[in-house]
């Protein structure tokens, strides 16, 4: 018997050896992530968390084609401009829902993402604010980061307010999984005035602590005092506008003047290249991109088909018509569709910003002239890849960098900065608010003429009435800020959307008679544009109403 | 109990002498009719020693060594009874005959079959669980070398769908009894005892497989936390004692797509482009894009450069492609050492013209067993495999997307040979080649298992055994993309413009990825197996642990000066930090397990098993789960009172119940996870930012399945076998991520994941919240019969598995939307508008409630909720999802002399698949849509009008509807194998003991209502490498 035990002993020992028996066998620590304690334990890690709040999450397949989205929409295949009378996105991609008035809670198209992703970012900011005092760092720096978080949070609310109107203000609340989501306080919308007051107060607090200048210690891409004040000015301008009607034009003008008084920003010399120079002194707040962390490659996404581009967001005749025409170097007048001189030479002597914003028939682009004429034009259905030809006869020039390739751009392009706020907007905001507040005084003229001057346009005629000035300012804004995500909000806050957004989407059909003679015929680029009263605000997505158990109130008339 | 067929000769001789002696003594009278003849087996071999008895007497004889017999039958007796062990007795009428040759019919011996069960083996007759098994020899009848593609239709309870057919990536997805959870439904695969052995089952060499068992009920509970979705056990071949047998098989085949969608031709597509422009701007008329003359040119081919008519599938794909397999194995052994060694080689070509896609596989296996001492057995099982995958620089999905997108109005290659730019630079004719570089994706697998068993001598039946398994898996990708030129023709000046595509910014680009995975599994058990009188005991207790580690890294380098140096070291010099990445993974488990099986006289059967599993996925405190299984059976046919019912060879009823677990979720969900994400740029540089990637759920633990089975097994008339099972399962604590019920205003918002994203990362953690009940019925009926030279064996099986969601995270919907609830319905359904027609007249638009922007040619959606508007509330849940509720198979095997035939049919029904092709100005249309579309000139069209993009069309993606939901039912001739075995008397002279030629077919015919694509596909755009039909010729030689 004893002999036989000897067999078992080594077997058992071997098995013990192979398997081990310590209790920690099942304790596995991750090597690719950290936890709350680590986040709080290091100022560097905490700051890493704060900085990424400038971005948020992708919420549908039709956004964040490159890196995660920032604020608003920015550079995407279908741009926000294609929900307005600035452009149409030729591949639809759920942008025509808005253009054709089919916007509904269950059918929000590309406009349905701002609600959810803004609130996600707000929660993340609130979480950071809730632990910031536990993080070991210099108190001064802590206040700067706190201000930065408040700025980001305020920007999210600004995104929400200008799209949805009344929204839910959460304060410093950090929701958790175990919360009671049937708690009505989570769904209580505040009046617009309250919402705007909250944002403005937050921005005041942020402006007080944020650095004035970007430098190596506070690099470009992070919010500055000017950014907070500019956003505040924009909010107050909205508040005073007819659709909101909860603020005063004086407050709006004063807020804009605060930025002007900083004397930090100035208009960049050249309108065209402004959008490619991230270091421009005109830019107040922007999102930077780089190779490997890029946005949609704008050159191929919006290029003419004759260059192997995909046309994408094609400018509408509606916008083209609003570029002024020079009569002589000192005089510019609105384009007149009944004036044969204008109609027969539509691309001559226009506002220089037209040439910087639009690719039109005859425009010099990449070594040849753009050809949108028929028959035979290379950038029409008679050219290559003709499924990608413009409906309108125009292509986008603004933002386009000619040094970047159209073909095979994937590892190279998509690097232009997206400008959230620039000084020209402040001047326009000021001019508009001041004109409404006090009428067209010298300050109004100065602000607006500064912009026109930079663009190469003559000053506005003197002695305009307040209403005439208003009209000029509105048009100036349309031209200067085209494709920069202002038009959508401007036509709403001015309550002119019923007019502008029910206008058909026009294009231009150009027929070549001979090398120098063309005839022009106005065509409809996209049929069925429609805007109804409910469309002044976006619908809250149906899913969200359902998740709230009906406690969240839908915007009116949806 | 079956005795050896070949009794020792001397014994047989003595028996014969005795009988002859007996016969001559007892009946030496007059009036005796002499009868003689020869008795052979079902395969024509003479049977010596067969008993022949004059029925009703004791007069008898036995056959000699050549199977011959002679017997004298006295007057008054008219029949003889022939009997032999292992064969059915026959009573034969002798009236008027003097020479009677008889073919014996073998007794069906499946009850004696040994079935592999978890950690053990059992005789089929004493099984109490729902376990199906097939033999490796059935798998090799399929010319599809991927084992997962040979399983459909063969068992009840297994649902397998082959979703795509790319060589190297043509695995089937399989489920046991359908879906049972909203979470992970993956079946646990155990190979030679190693759970989740690296390398899996798909690419095992089918020639190495002895058997495949599937554990469908509580019998899987012994695999604890991974068993809830069922378990597949693979056992590889082992050596048998005897002289070495050398087997060689070769087969060569041609594969071709089962089905490719037919696309619209250029004339049709050009007309469609006109229609799209018309719908966008009706004032512009019907010829805004092409005039009639141009359309005519597309139709008549008079200007093939400017007005071509390209069939992109034909331009890109071959009619058929080659594949072949070689297998060689040696099998034999002595009492002390037995061995099975094999090597296999497989080649599959892609279906592309001049394509880069190739798959080569090399495998070996060496299973050696040694009896070291009387009580100690040691075996070593080693196997390895090299999977060489080679693809073009573009994925199959991208290539097929391009084939279906590319416009027929664009030429593929100009007459001078220049390839065109195709669709936006994607020209599939070029993409399939290696002109743009290649993507090599080899994988190496090694599996080693050392097993030992020691019979403890001092107590009979007591033994200790164990195994130690080491698996390695190396996965590698090397993707080198090279710039190449495509051309576009400018008819204005008759020039070809060259554009550079591929690579990165005009220079070659290299990407490499490496993954190194290992799994170390150790197990030991104490066993007690003993028969004590009429009590049979089979028990063990054991311990098992495993450790799975994975390390990956990848790197990219750009700007290669030349395409000749595809090595990481040879690229451009600017090499930022970001171009590489890596990750690692460690997963451990520890388990305690045991089983007690007891039966009394093999009549009353009881089994209890238990596994306690610990897993590193869960936090301390929630880590260990207990998974018991219980089963019992009663073999009614063993009861004495059943003896009179002699046609009942076997009858058993059985029941099982168990609790099984599922832990297949991501690790580290029990705390808030933060990960680095460096995509925000500050000051011109990427910043090392941090995001929250997962919110913590401290209470995370197992998902539990309670499974109950009632089964009946019978064998009647020695030819009809029957199995019927009713099963039910209650799955609870399902690990699911809440989404719908959490309002986004809370800020707890999951980011959008691409459908194809392999590792989705919602911020919400898995929580034990879901509940799904499922139940169903399985039946198998087989008939087996021999008629002399002819035999057949037909069986059919069916599985009906229906599931019902008891709880899934849903928003608190009002009653008016009850019809949209997932709760109460089956898993994986679609929520779609119900189409009730097409608006054909203005009167239709007046009569039907419609969307504000609806127009003629649009689909009519039913106002389901009756609120007078078409809104979200009108969407209705589909009845079925894309996993079939009903699957069935028929297996027909027949033989006549030297010919054998095997046919496998597999089918499914009660299943739906949504497919909306990527059509519009973005891509071509299936001709089924193009030819039947509504248009102003075809107001009777059966399909809706075309639109700019189907995905954002009012008739398509914008209002997903059931017009695009197809009934994906099918019946498929999955497999046909026809073999001819050359008679032994011809081959033995050549030293060949067995020579067989065969013709095999896979996916030979399909009967289905689905029009455009293979009904097994699950891509909602149907852009995938199609399933393959294979016809092959093969030869097997055994020495």
Task: Check CB contact under 8 Å for A549 and B811.
Answer: yes
| Residue B556: strand pairing partners | B511
Q: How far is CA A172 from CA A202, A230, B409, in A?
A: 12, 23, 59
Q: Which of A52, A126, A407 sits opposite B690 (nearest CB)?
A: A52
Residue of A nearest to B521 (CA): A19
Mean pLDDT of B579-592: 89
Residues of chain A neighbouring B490 (CB-CB closer than 8 A): 378, 384
- Rounded CA-CA distance A171/A443 in Å is 38
Mean pLDDT of B558-578: 83
pLDDT score of B993: 86
B988: pLDDT strictly greater than 90: no
Token code pair at residue B266: 């250029």
Q: Does A97 touch chain B (CB under 8 A)?
A: yes
pLDDT score of B42: 72
pLDDT score of B755: 67
Three-class secondary structure of residue B911 per DSSP: coil
pLDDT in tens, B286-315: 999 999 999 999 999 999 999 999 999 999
B294-312: buried (b, 16+ CB within 10 Å) or exposed (e) per residue?
bbebbbeeeeeeebbbbbb
B339: pLDDT strictly greater than 90: yes
Mean pLDDT of B310-326: 96
Q: Which helix (H) or strand (E) holds A202?
A: helix A192-209
Token code pair at residue B444: 């190496």
Whether a cis peptide bond, with omega within 30° of 0, leads into A375 is yes
pLDDT score of B3: 38
A6: pLDDT strictly greater than 80: no
Residue of B nearest to A223 (CA): B682
pLDDT score of A463: 94
pLDDT in tens, A131-176: 999 999 999 999 999 999 999 999 999 999 999 999 999 999 999 9
Residue B389, C-beta contacts closer than 8 angstroms, at least 6 positions apart: B167, B168, B169, B358, B359, B440, B441, B442, B443
Going by pLDDT thresholds of 50, 70 and 90, the confidence category of residue B58 is confident
pLDDT score of A20: 52
pLDDT in tens, B532-546: 999 999 999 999 999
pLDDT score of B661: 96
Residue of B nearest to A549 (CA): B812
Q: Does B667 touch chain A (CB under 8 A)?
A: yes
pLDDT score of B583: 86
B500: pLDDT strictly greater than 90: yes
Q: Which of A8, A36, A181 sits opposite B464 (nearest CB)?
A: A8
| Contact of B612 with B624, CB cutoff 8 Å | yes
| Residue B317: strand pairing partners | B352
Task: Check CB contact under 8 Å for B677 and A52.
Answer: yes
- Pairing mode of beta strands B32-40, B102-103: parallel
CA B785 to chain centre: 30
For chain B, give percent helix, strand, coil, nearest 5: 15, 50, 40
| Residue A314: strand pairing partners | A88
Return the biggest CA–CA distance within chain B: 121
B2: pLDDT strictly greater than 80: no
Q: Which of B505, B765, B814 sits opposite A408 (nearest CB)?
A: B505
| Contact of B971 with B1007, CB cutoff 8 Å | yes
pLDDT in tens, A512-554: 999 889 999 999 999 999 999 999 999 999 999 999 999 999 9
pLDDT score of B25: 46
Task: Check CB contact under 8 Å for B684 and A408.
Answer: no
Highest mean pLDDT among B104-118, B683-697, B781-795: B683-697
- Rounded CA-CA distance A186/A552 in Å is 8
Where are any strands of DSSP class E within B393-442? 437-440
> What sign for the dihedral angle of Cα B616, B618, B620, B621?
negative
Three-class secondary structure of residue B574 per DSSP: coil
φ, ψ for residue B962, nearest 5 deg: -85, 5
Mean pLDDT of A486-512: 97
Mean pLDDT of B947-963: 94
Going by pLDDT thresholds of 50, 70 and 90, the confidence category of residue A17 is low
- Neighbouring C-beta atoms of residue A499, cutoff 10 Å: 12
Mean pLDDT of A344-348: 95
Three-class secondary structure of residue B264 per DSSP: coil
pLDDT score of B27: 46
- Pairing mode of beta strands B648-662, B703-716: antiparallel
- Pairing mode of beta strands B376-392, B462-481: unpaired
pLDDT score of A61: 85
Token code pair at residue B756: 């194809």
In angstroms, what separates the C-alpha of B1036 from chain A's closest C-alpha? 43
Q: Which of A91, A181, A391 sits opposite B741 (nearest CB)?
A: A181
Q: Does B4 touch chain A (CB under 8 A)?
A: no
- Picking from B42-51, B201-210, B382-391, which range would have the lowest pLDDT averaged per residue? B42-51
N-to-C CA span, chain A: 89
| Environment class of B763 (CB within 10 Å of its CB; exposed 0-12, middle 13-18, buried 19+) | buried
> What sign for the dihedral angle of Cα B53, B54, B55, B57?
negative
pLDDT score of A256: 98
pLDDT score of B104: 81
Q: Which residue has the higher pLDDT, A172 or B755?
A: A172
Q: Which of B616, B566, B419 is nearest to A27 (CA)?
A: B616
| Residue A202: strand pairing partners | none
A9: pLDDT strictly greater than 60: no
φ, ψ for residue A210, nearest 5 deg: -70, 145
Q: What is the overall mean pLDDT for chain B? A: 91
A282: pLDDT strictly greater than 80: yes
Three-class secondary structure of residue B624 per DSSP: strand
B103: pLDDT strictly greater than 50: yes
Q: Which residue has the higher pLDDT, B57 or B936?
A: B936
What is the DSSP code string of A224-285? Answer: -HHHHHHHHHHHHHHHHSTTT--S-HHHHHHHHHHHHHT------S-HHHHTT-TT-TTEEE
pLDDT in tens, A391-413: 999 999 999 999 999 999 988 99
Mean pLDDT of B1018-1037: 93
What is the DSSP code string of A360-407? Answer: -TT-EETTEE---EETT-TTSTTSSSGGG--SSS-EE-TT--TTS-SS
Place of tokens 């956003």: A231
Token code pair at residue B962: 């059931």
pLDDT score of B108: 59
Token code pair at residue A315: 């400018």
Going by pLDDT thresholds of 50, 70 and 90, the confidence category of residue B850 is very high
Going by pLDDT thresholds of 50, 70 and 90, the confidence category of residue A16 is low
Give me the interface pTM, i.e. the ipTM: 0.94
B863: pLDDT strictly greater than 80: yes
What is the DSSP code string of B300-358? Answer: HTSSTTTS----HHHHHB-S-EEEEEEEEEEEEE-SSEEEEEEEEEEEEE-SBTT---E
Q: Which of B416, B81, B375, B382 is nearest to B208 (CA)?
A: B382
| Residue B609: strand pairing partners | B595, B629
A503: pLDDT strictly greater than 90: yes
- Picking from A2-6, A511-515, B397-401, which range would have the lowest pLDDT averaged per residue? A2-6
Task: Check CB contact under 8 Å for B589 and A33.
Answer: no
In angstroms, what separates the C-alpha of A212 from chain B's closest C-alpha? 15
B contact residues 278-307, partner A, Cβ 8 Å cutoff: 279-284, 289
CA B286 to chain centre: 50
Place of tokens 């509330």: B873
In B622-717, which residue ranges form alpha helices assigned H by DSSP?
none
Going by pLDDT thresholds of 50, 70 and 90, the confidence category of residue B18 is very low
Going by pLDDT thresholds of 50, 70 and 90, the confidence category of residue B644 is confident
- Pairing mode of beta strands B188-191, B231-236: parallel
Task: Check CB contact under 8 Å for B813 and A546.
Answer: yes
Q: Which helix (H) or strand (E) holds B904?
A: strand B899-909
């Amino acid at each position: 018997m004893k002999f036989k035990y000897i067999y078992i002993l080594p077997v058992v020992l071997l098995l013990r050896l192979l398997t081990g028996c310590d209790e920690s066998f099942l304790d596995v620590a991750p090597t690719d992530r950290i936890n709350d304690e680590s986040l709080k334990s290091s100022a560097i890690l905490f700051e890493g968390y704060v900085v990424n709040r400038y971005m948020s999450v992708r919420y549908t397949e039709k956004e964040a084609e490159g890196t995660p989205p920032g604020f608003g929409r920015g550079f995407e295949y279908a741009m926000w401009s294609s929900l307005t009378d600035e452009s149409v996105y030729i591949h639809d991609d759920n942008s025509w829902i808005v253009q054709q008035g089919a916007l509904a809670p269950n059918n929000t198209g590309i406009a349905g993402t701002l609600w959810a992703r803004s609130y996600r970012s707000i929660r993340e900011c609130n979480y950071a604010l809730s632990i910031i005092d536990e993080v070991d760092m210099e108190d001064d720096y802590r206040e700067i980061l706190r201000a930065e978080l408040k700025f980001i949070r305020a920007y999210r609310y600004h995104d929400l307010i200008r799209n949805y109107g009344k929204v839910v203000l959460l304060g410093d609340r950090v929701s958790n999984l175990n919360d009671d989501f049937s708690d009505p306080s989570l769904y209580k919308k505040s009046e617009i005035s309250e919402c705007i007051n909250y944002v403005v107060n937050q921005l005041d607090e942020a402006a007080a602590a944020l650095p004035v200048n970007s430098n190596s210690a506070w690099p470009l891409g992070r919010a500055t005092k000017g950014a907070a004040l500019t956003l505040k000015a924009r909010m107050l301008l909205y508040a005073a506008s007819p659709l909101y009607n909860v603020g005063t034009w004086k407050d709006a003008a004063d807020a804009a003047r605060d930025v002007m008084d900083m004397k930090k920003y100035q208009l960049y010399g050249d309108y065209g290249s402004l959008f490619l120079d991230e270091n421009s002194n005109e830019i107040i707040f922007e999102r930077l991109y780089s190779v490997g962390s890029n946005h949609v490659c704008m050159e191929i996404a919006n290029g003419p088909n004759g260059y192997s581009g995909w046309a994408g967001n094609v400018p509408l005749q509606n916008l083209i018509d609003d570029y002024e025409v020079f009569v002589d170097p000192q005089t510019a007048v609105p384009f007149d569709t009944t004036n044969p001189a204008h109609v027969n030479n539509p691309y001559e002597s226009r506002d220089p910003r037209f040439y910087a914003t639009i690719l039109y028939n005859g425009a010099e682009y990449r070594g040849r002239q753009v050809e949108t004429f028929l028959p035979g034009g290379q950038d029409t259905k008679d050219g290559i890849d003709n499924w990608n030809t413009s409906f309108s006869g125009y292509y986008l020039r603004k933002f386009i960098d000619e040094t970047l390739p159209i073909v095979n751009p994937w590892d190279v392009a998509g690097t232009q900065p997206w400008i959230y706020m620039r000084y020209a907007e402040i001047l326009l905001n000021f001019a508009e608010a001041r004109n409404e507040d006090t009428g067209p005084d010298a300050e109004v003229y100065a602000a607006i003429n500064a912009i026109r001057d930079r663009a190469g346009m003559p000053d506005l005629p003197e002695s305009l009435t307040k209403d005439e000035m208003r009209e000029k300012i509105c048009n100036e804004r349309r031209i200067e800020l085209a494709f920069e995500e202002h038009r959508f909000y401007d036509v709403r806050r001015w309550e002119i959307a019923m007019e502008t957004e029910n206008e058909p989407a026009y294009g231009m059909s150009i027929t070549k008679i001979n090398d120098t003679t063309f005839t022009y015929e106005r065509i409809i680029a996209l049929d069925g544009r429609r805007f109804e009263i409910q469309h002044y605000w976006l619908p809250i997505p149906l899913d969200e109403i359902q998740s709230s158990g009906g406690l969240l109130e839908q915007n009116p008339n949806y | 109990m079956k005795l050896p067929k070949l009794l020792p000769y001397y014994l047989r001789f003595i028996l014969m002498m005795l009988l002859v002696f007996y016969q001559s003594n007892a009946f030496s009278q007059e009036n005796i009719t002499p009868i003689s003849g020869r008795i052979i087996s079902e395969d024509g071999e003479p049977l010596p020693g067969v008993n022949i008895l004059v029925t009703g007497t004791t007069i008898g004889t036995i056959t000699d060594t050549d199977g011959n017999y002679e017997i004298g039958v006295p007057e008054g007796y008219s029949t003889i009874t022939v009997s032999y062990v292992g064969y059915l007795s026959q009573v034969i009428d002798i009236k008027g005959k003097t020479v009677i040759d008889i073919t014996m019919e073998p007794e069906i011996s499946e009850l004696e079959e040994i079935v592999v069960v978890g950690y053990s083996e059992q005789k089929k007759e004493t099984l109490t669980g729902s376990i199906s098994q097939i033999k490796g020899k059935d798998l090799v009848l399929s010319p599809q070398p991927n084992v997962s593609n040979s399983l459909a239709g063969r068992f009840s309870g297994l649902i397998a769908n082959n979703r795509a057919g790319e060589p190297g990536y043509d695995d089937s997805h399989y489920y046991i009894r359908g879906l049972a959870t909203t979470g992970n439904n993956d079946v646990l695969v155990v190979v030679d005892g190693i759970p989740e052995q690296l390398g899996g089952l798909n690419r095992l060499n089918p020639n190495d497989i002895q058997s495949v068992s599937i554990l469908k009920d509580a019998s899987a509970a012994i695999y604890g936390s991974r068993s809830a979705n069922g378990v597949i056990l693979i056992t590889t071949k082992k050596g048998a004692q005897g002289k070495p047998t050398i087997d060689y098989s070769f087969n060569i085949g041609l594969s071709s797509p089962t089905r490719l969608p037919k696309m619209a031709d250029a004339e049709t597509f050009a007309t469609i482009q006109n229609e799209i422009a018309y719908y966008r701007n009706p004032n512009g008329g019907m010829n805004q894009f092409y005039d009639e003359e141009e359309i005519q040119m597309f139709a008549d081919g008079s200007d093939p450069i400017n007005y071509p008519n390209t069939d992109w599938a034909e331009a890109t794909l071959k009619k058929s492609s080659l594949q072949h397999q070689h297998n060689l194995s040696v099998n034999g052994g002595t009492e002390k050492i037995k061995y099975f060694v094999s090597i296999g080689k497989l080649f599959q070509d892609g279906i592309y013209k001049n394509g880069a896609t190739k798959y080569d596989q090399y495998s070996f296996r060496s299973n050696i067993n040694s009896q070291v001492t009387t009580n100690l057995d040691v075996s070593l099982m080693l196997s390895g495999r090299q999977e060489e995958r080679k693809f073009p620089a573009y994925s199959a999905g991208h290539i097929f997307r391009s084939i279906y997108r590319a416009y027929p109005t664009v030429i593929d290659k100009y007459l001078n040979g220049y390839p065109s730019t195709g669709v936006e630079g994607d020209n599939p004719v070029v993409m399939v080649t290696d002109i743009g570089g290649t993507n090599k994706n080899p994988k190496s697998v090694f599996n080693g298992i050392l097993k030992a068993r020691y019979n403890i001598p001092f107590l009979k039946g007591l033994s200790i055994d164990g195994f130690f398994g080491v698996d390695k898996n190396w996965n590698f990708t090397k993707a080198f993309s090279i710039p190449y030129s495509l051309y576009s023709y400018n008819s204005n000046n008759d020039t070809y413009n060259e554009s550079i595509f591929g690579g990165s910014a005009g220079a070659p680009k290299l990407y490499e990825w490496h993954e190194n995975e290992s799994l170390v599994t150790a197990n030991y058990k104490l066993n007690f197996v003993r028969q004590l009188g009429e009590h049979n005991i089979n028990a063990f207790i054991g311990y098992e642990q495993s450790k799975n580690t994975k390390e990956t890294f990848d790197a990219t380098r750009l700007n290669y000066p030349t395409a000749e140096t595809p090595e990481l070291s040879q690229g451009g010099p600017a090499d930022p930090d970001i171009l590489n990445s890596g990750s690692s993974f460690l997963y451990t488990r520890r388990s305690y397990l045991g089983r007690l099986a007891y039966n009394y006289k093999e009549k009353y059967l009881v089994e209890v098993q238990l596994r306690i599993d610990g897993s590193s996925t869960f936090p301390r405190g929630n880590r260990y789960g207990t998974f018991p299984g219980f089963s019992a059976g009663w073999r009614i046919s063993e009861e004495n009172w059943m003896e009179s019912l002699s046609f009942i060879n076997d009858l058993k009823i059985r029941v099982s119940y168990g609790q099984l677990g599922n832990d297949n979720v991501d690790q580290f969900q029990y705390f808030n996870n933060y990960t680095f994400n460096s995509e925000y740029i500050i000051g011109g540089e990427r910043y090392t930012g941090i995001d929250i990637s997962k919110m913590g759920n401290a209470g995370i633990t197992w998902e539990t399945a309670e499974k109950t089975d009632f089964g009946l097994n019978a064998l009647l008339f020695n030819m009809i076998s029957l199995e019927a099972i009713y099963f039910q399962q209650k799955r609870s604590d399902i690990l699911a991520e809440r989404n719908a019920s959490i309002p986004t205003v809370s800020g707890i918002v999951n980011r959008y994941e691409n459908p194809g994203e392999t590792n989705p990362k919602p911020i919400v953690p898995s929580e034990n919240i879901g509940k799904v009940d499922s139940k169903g019925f399985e039946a198998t009926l087989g008939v087996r019969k021999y008629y002399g030279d002819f035999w057949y064996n037909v069986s059919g099986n069916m599985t009906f598995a229906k599931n019902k969601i008891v709880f899934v995270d849903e928003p608190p919907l009002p009653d008016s939307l009850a019809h949209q609830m997932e709760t109460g319905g089956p898993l994986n359904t679609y929520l779609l508008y119900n189409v009730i027609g097409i608006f054909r007249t203005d009167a239709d638009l007046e009569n039907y409630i419609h969307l504000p922007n609806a127009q003629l040619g649009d689909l009519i959606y039913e106002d389901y909720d009756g609120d007078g508007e078409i809104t979200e509330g009108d969407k209705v849940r589909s009845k079925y999802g894309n996993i079939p509720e009903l699957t069935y198979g028929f297996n027909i095997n027949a033989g006549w002399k030297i010919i054998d035939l095997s046919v496998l049919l597999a089918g499914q029904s009660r299943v739906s698949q949504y497919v909306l092709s990527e059509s519009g100005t973005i891509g071509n249309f299936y001709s089924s849509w193009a030819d039947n579309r509504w248009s102003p000139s075809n107001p009777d069209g059966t399909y809706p009008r075309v639109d700019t993009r189907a995905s954002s069309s009012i008739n398509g993606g914008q209002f997903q509807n059931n017009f695009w939901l197809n009934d994906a039912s099918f019946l498929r001739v999955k497999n046909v194998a026809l073999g001819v075995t050359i008679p032994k008397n011809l081959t033995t002279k050549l030293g060949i003991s067995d020579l067989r030629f065969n013709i095999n077919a896979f996916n030979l015919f399909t009967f289905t209502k689905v029009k455009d694509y293979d009904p097994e596909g699950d891509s909602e755009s149907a852009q995938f490498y199609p399933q393959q039909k294979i016809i092959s010729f093969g030869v097997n030689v055994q020495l």
